[in-house]
Amino acid sequence: MRAAISIGCGLLLAALWAVPPMVANAAGDAAGSALLAEQCAGCHNLTGPAPDTVQAVRARKGPDLFYAGDKYRAEWLTEWLQKPTRIRPGGAFYGDHIVPSQATDKWDQIDTASLPDHPALSAPDARAVSAALMANTPYAERIATVTVEPVSLPIFMGDMLFDKFKGCIACHQSGKDYGGFSGPELYTAADRLNPRFIYSYMQNPQAWDPKIWMPNMNLAAADLNKLVRYLQMIAEEE
């Protein structure tokens, strides 16, 4: 499977190489960019900068997409846009979807009925949009400086790190319906995201999104590498 993907990527790269790149991009981007401006700009920030006030981050209707090319895996993007599924169990800003509990021994709940379904695209539109989005790489330099060191770790050590030592489980789900609700589910993160982005975001979330409600957990390089590996393992498991 891995090999197939690698070969696929290789072929794709070769194909891109064969066509004069400027021409290929211009054609793909134009249709995709038009779609983005028409159907997506109302909810997604496509130009940057990221919101730099608490008010603005709370008012955001969808995740920022202006650095999509630094963040996503292109294949995932093309697929998801055709069949979007929920990633953030609490929506774009969880605070808009809370049903407060009056009792101390019961938790606040997410009002799932208030979470809208995401618009879906046809296959050709998804490909065009994906190509246009992947061309947004304002943080290419930051991403290029990240080196993810391959490590091997037993899954139970990963669980310990994620749940007990670093407390990520409070906000993130590491398996279907296990974990917190205010951050994106992470058992799909390795399918969705560039591993270098995962590393860089965990290292300093505010460098990507200055007012986001994920704290900087001061993670050392050794832990960052282990967590990247752990997210790959739980993605393969689910």
Q: Which is nearer to other proteins, 1 or 103 (CB)?
A: 103
SS3 196: helix
State the pairing for strand pair 173-175/98-99.
unpaired
Binding stretches for ligand HEC (CB under 6 A): 39-40, 42-44, 61-63, 77, 81, 86-88, 91-92, 116, 118-119, 121, 129, 166-168, 170-172, 182-184, 186, 189, 198, 201-202, 212-215, 217, 219, 227
Instruction: Specify whether the CB–CB gap between 208 and 50 falls below 8 A.
Output: yes
Q: Which is nearer to other proteins, 59 or 123 (CB)?
A: 59
Dihedral sign computed on CA atoms, order 190, 11, 142, 53: negative
Taking CB under 8 A as the binding criterion, the range among 4-12, 32-40, 104-112, 220-228 that sits at the site for other proteins is 104-112
Q: How far is CA 57 from CA 64, 91, 99, in A?
A: 10, 13, 20
Q: The tokens of 4 are what?
A: 């197939």
169 interface partner picked from ligand HEC, other proteins, none, CB below 5 to 8 A per type = other proteins
Q: Which is nearer to other proteins, 85 or 218 (CB)?
A: 218
Instruction: Specify whether the CB–CB gap between 143 and 203 falls below 8 A.
Output: no
**Binding residues for other proteins (CB under 8 A):** 54-55, 57-58, 90, 94-95, 98, 100-110, 163-167, 169-171, 178-182, 204-206, 211-213, 215-218
